[in-house]
Chain A
């Protein structure tokens, strides 16, 4: 076995961080639903997804360093998650639209990684089963909200439109991940188009990125609500430097 070059090692850690941050941040957002879900059965479902994601985050962050140091002691600009996952929960439709966009991406991404022989293939093989279920959950709810009542249809349409602009970032190349980004994007678009179509939701047509050349989440540029989310997540840990819990 050849020793990985410094660049390879850094790229591996960077990729683990990007995927780990995605999972951590979405799990944190889903955790905010606890006690406030629309129906008890959904409390259990959302918590299951949040727990799967948190499990993924812990494995991935541990590949890049100490999970708690990374989660609790980094500043906003050092997080590498896509902006989509940090978007506030909004109403249930927004949460479901975010889930649909992200879980579809994650399923395809881990599918590709699991099929390859890169350093993430073992981890991806386990994760792909979890995220397939997340996508199934999002799809079933998208259908029910989109094709439910007039009110739910409007809410679902608004949510899909509002989050659309954060979907372009999903297909930016990530150093250290050996992916066919074009295939990823076209498969994602086909899947989302199909689900939204069956849900009687019009495929959003707006831009799929923020018009800011500096970049987005993968470059450490986040949206305003993210800082507040981190402040809440990190304050206790940071208040007791060096403590063990």
Chain B
């Protein structure tokens, strides 16, 4: 814990002081907060934090949680049709993890004083976003592989630095998420490899999926740094550790050799190694598509949200029943005696 200077501490001494005293107190809190962030300490739920920091975290964690649960849909789409029992088990476990990760993240958001109900409401009414990637359809089995390899790959690139995020509960949730997700990308890659090395039809299915998922995966890192509204502040607060473009480049550099090993091509004629930069150059991203999908015009925006709303509405009577039962059978709140 970093101590404030003696002078500042004195000025906060008088309770219920003047406006000037309140302002000074505020400044002192802020100084302590800034010092803690600068010293790479974690901010914990009961600590004082700037309102904008809190709001920014709630926005980001909620969006992350929503992405996990909406992200169940495109993959759950293939659970009942998985082509082998082994693949079915893997996919079920993966989709289950996503529900679990949603839960960890909603928990983290709740430590900031926002209830899960409130967050779900905002998701259902479209006031909070989820990752646009899930507004693309899973048209073939190979899409499940492509999501694992590319979408989870991009997500992991984004998420690993979040394990060191300045907000303790978010960082801890991310440690758990990252640990559990390590199998997600590998299973996707393995599924694609089996297709790529399989029959001609399977290979074509894999290539088609990679062709469709490559660019949307690059968009997952968000708009270019120059146009990103939240990046600078989020980095100052150490909510975010690397810029969008930095992470995107890191992902491309990792993915290119992986694609070669798969025997699949990436749909970008400009993709080539740049000796000077020590990175792969890649072609321009179609940001019009990104903003279009973000605004709600993607292929599956309506479908994803209405399925989510439907599940929530269909489940209302179940949640009410359990609450009513608890009410009847508990002395105090919680202790069931069934």
- Residues on A lying within 8 angstroms of B by beta carbon are 24, 28, 31-32, 34-44, 47-48, 50-51, 54-55, 57-58, 61, 67-68, 71-72, 91-92, 140, 143-145, 147-149, 151-152, 155, 198, 232-233, 235-237, 240, 242-245
Residue B328 CB within 8 A of the other chain: yes
Smallest Cβ distance from B80 to chain A, in angstroms?
Answer: 5
The answer to whether B85 touches A54, judged by C-beta atoms less than 8 angstroms apart, is yes
The answer to whether B307 touches A35, judged by C-beta atoms less than 8 angstroms apart, is yes
Taking a contact as CB atoms closer than 8 A, the residue among B82, B96, B318, B319 that contacts A48 in the complex is: B96
Smallest Cβ distance from B316 to chain A, in angstroms?
Answer: 8
Smallest Cβ distance from A63 to chain B, in angstroms?
Answer: 14
Q: A-side binding surface: helix, strand, loop or mixed?
A: helix
Smallest Cβ distance from A45 to chain B, in angstroms?
Answer: 9
A41 / chain B contacts, CB cutoff of 8 Å: 103
The answer to whether B318 touches A57, judged by C-beta atoms less than 8 angstroms apart, is no
Residue B1 CB within 8 A of the other chain: no
In the bound complex, CA of A143 to CA of B330 (Å):
14
B178 / chain A contacts, CB cutoff of 8 Å: none
The answer to whether B100 touches A44, judged by C-beta atoms less than 8 angstroms apart, is yes
Q: B-side binding surface: helix, strand, loop or mixed?
A: helix
Taking a contact as CB atoms closer than 8 A, the residue among A31, A39, A143 that contacts B319 in the complex is: A39
A155 / chain B contacts, CB cutoff of 8 Å: 317
Total chain B interface residues with beta-carbon distance under 8 A = 51
The answer to whether A47 touches B81, judged by C-beta atoms less than 8 angstroms apart, is no
The answer to whether A39 touches B318, judged by C-beta atoms less than 8 angstroms apart, is yes
- Kindly report which residue of chain B lies nearest to residue A58, judged by CB atoms: B85
Taking a contact as CB atoms closer than 8 A, the residue among A61, A68, A149 that contacts B324 in the complex is: A149
Given contacts A34-B95, A243-B202, are A145 and B318 in contact (CB under 8 A)? yes
Smallest Cβ distance from A159 to chain B, in angstroms?
Answer: 12
B86 / chain A contacts, CB cutoff of 8 Å: 58, 245
- Kindly report which residue of chain B lies nearest to residue A41, judged by CB atoms: B103
The answer to whether B315 touches A31, judged by C-beta atoms less than 8 angstroms apart, is no
A34-B95, A39-B318 known, 9 other contacts, Cβ within 8 Å: A40-B69, A44-B96, A47-B92, A50-B92, A51-B92, A54-B85, A54-B88, A68-B84, A92-B315
The answer to whether B141 touches A236, judged by C-beta atoms less than 8 angstroms apart, is yes
The answer to whether A244 touches B194, judged by C-beta atoms less than 8 angstroms apart, is yes
The answer to whether A44 touches B99, judged by C-beta atoms less than 8 angstroms apart, is yes
Smallest Cβ distance from A106 to chain B, in angstroms?
Answer: 19
Given contacts A35-B307, A44-B100, A245-B84, are A143 and B314 in contact (CB under 8 A)? no
In the bound complex, CA of A37 to CA of B83 (Å):
24
A51 / chain B contacts, CB cutoff of 8 Å: 89, 92-93, 96
